Amino acid sequence: MPVLNRYILRQLIWVTVFITVALTLAVWLSQSLRFMDYIVNRGLPLSDFLMLMSLMLPRFFGVVLPIATFVAVLFVYNKLANESELAVMRAAGLSQWQIAKPGVILAIGLTVVVYSVSLYFLPASYREFKDLQYQMRNSYASVLLQEGVFNTVGKNITVYVRNRTADGALQDVMVHDARETPPVTLLAERGAIVETEEGPRVLLIDGSRQSVDKAGGKLSMLYFDRYTVDIEQLQRAMTDRWRQPEERYLQNLLWPRDTSADQRYANELIAEGHRRLQYPLYTLAFAGIALATILAGEFSRRGQAKRIGLGVLAVAVLQAGQLALVDLTIGNLALAPVGYLVMLAAIAAPFYVLLSRPGRRTGSPRLDQTARAQP
């Protein structure tokens, strides 16, 4: 690889890594706030929290990498233009393609990375994420019980806990169980979540069991020292739950199973499969837009704000169009090929503009004369 290509590519890689890490951390931290309550108020172990958040990283990488590629190519080539390095390259006789080649190499490499994330690491990690989420709901049932809040457990049980101590004991507990006829309300001074072979249970200590006969309006009350409430709704078998689209590999998306749930959401699954194949190619499209933004057209010493703004707008429109097209594809699978056509056009158009136009004039007569003198 020529020294010049290595010089530009090295800058592109460093900037891409920096932007990817910065954007991923920003998204990761914002998403982690959703789970912070489980540590602060519900006693979820920190190790489990960190494991959950680490399993979400591939999901963030798939979104961040195409954007990071666009920003890195735009930043590095704009820096080269502002420091007159592009003018020197053209004066040395380099073509548009030779100058753009490092950006294209970066885009192709990252497209392969995004494909690996989209087709393997995303479904593998998100499947593990959801499985761990269900496992923690079973292993740490008390995590679901927030203090000072009426917690709905399943469809027919409501649990209220005034306070939970550091060792997990519950104080001033109320359980309303609508599974029975008539519904039962249990009040207890103390309680705890206990694990049994049949699933989690609420153990109540020193309380009362109350129910009202709807026919006669008679209150029935029973005092107890210990009472156990079955909350097996928390115990859901991993194998029985329906896998979400993000948990599935490509073959399970494009060819849904014959189960009733898969057939009900067949359009969503197939549309997600096509999106997995299309989205990594946006890395090439975004890089092409960035290269065309900087390398095509005339150079202005007053800055490239207008051209950069148009490039950012083009990326935003393309991204919004992709999201809209996925929604339309869910409603009509016949639109799936349109996504591939849009993608090919998004890749071809900026490179056509880039390669069909000669190198930009630099605004310096001496450099222009030097460039024209090159063979």
Task: Reply yes or no on whether the pLDDT at 134 is more than 80.
Answer: no
Q: Backbone phi, then psi, for 202, in 5-degree steps? A: -100, 115
Q: Which residue has the higher pLDDT, 113 or 146?
A: 113
Torsion of CA 238, 121, 38, 160, to 10 degrees: -30
pLDDT at residue 317 in the model:
95
6-61 confidence digits (pLDDT tens): 999 999 999 999 999 999 999 888 888 877 766 766 666 778 788 888 998 999 99
Q: Which residue has the higher pLDDT, 148 or 145?
A: 148
Q: Tokens 């739950």 correspond to what residue?
A: 241
Task: Reply yes or no on whether the pLDDT at 186 is more than 50.
Answer: yes
Is residue 290 within 8 Å of residue 67, measured between CB atoms?
Answer: no
Q: What is the mean pLDDT of the chain?
A: 84
Task: Reply yes or no on whether the pLDDT at 282 is more than 50.
Answer: yes
Q: Which residue has the higher pLDDT, 214 or 73?
A: 73
Separation between Cα atoms, residue 288 and residue 347, nearest integer Å: 7
71-102 confidence digits (pLDDT tens): 999 999 999 988 888 888 888 888 889 999 99
Q: What average pLDDT does the segment 328-353 reach?
A: 94
Strand order in the sheet with 150-153: 150-153, 157-164, 170-177, 184-196, 199-212, 219-230
Which of 189-198, 217-226, 267-276, 306-315 is the least confident region?
189-198
Nearest CA to 265 out of 319, 257, 71, 93 is that of: 257
Q: Which residue has the higher pLDDT, 75 or 196?
A: 75
Radius of gyration, CA atoms only, the chain: 30
pLDDT at residue 375 in the model:
41
Q: Which residue has the higher pLDDT, 263 or 241?
A: 263
Burial group, residue 240, by CB count within 10 angstroms (0-12, 13-18, 19+):
exposed
Q: How do strand 150-153 and strand 157-164 relate by DSSP bridges?
A: antiparallel
pTM recorded for the entire structure: 0.74
Name the band, by pLDDT with cuts 50, 70 and 90, for residue 158: confident
Task: Reply yes or no on whether the pLDDT at 274 is more than 80.
Answer: yes
pLDDT at residue 48 in the model:
79
How many helices (H) and strands (E) the chain has is answered by 13, 6
Q: What average pLDDT does the segment 247-276 reach?
A: 93
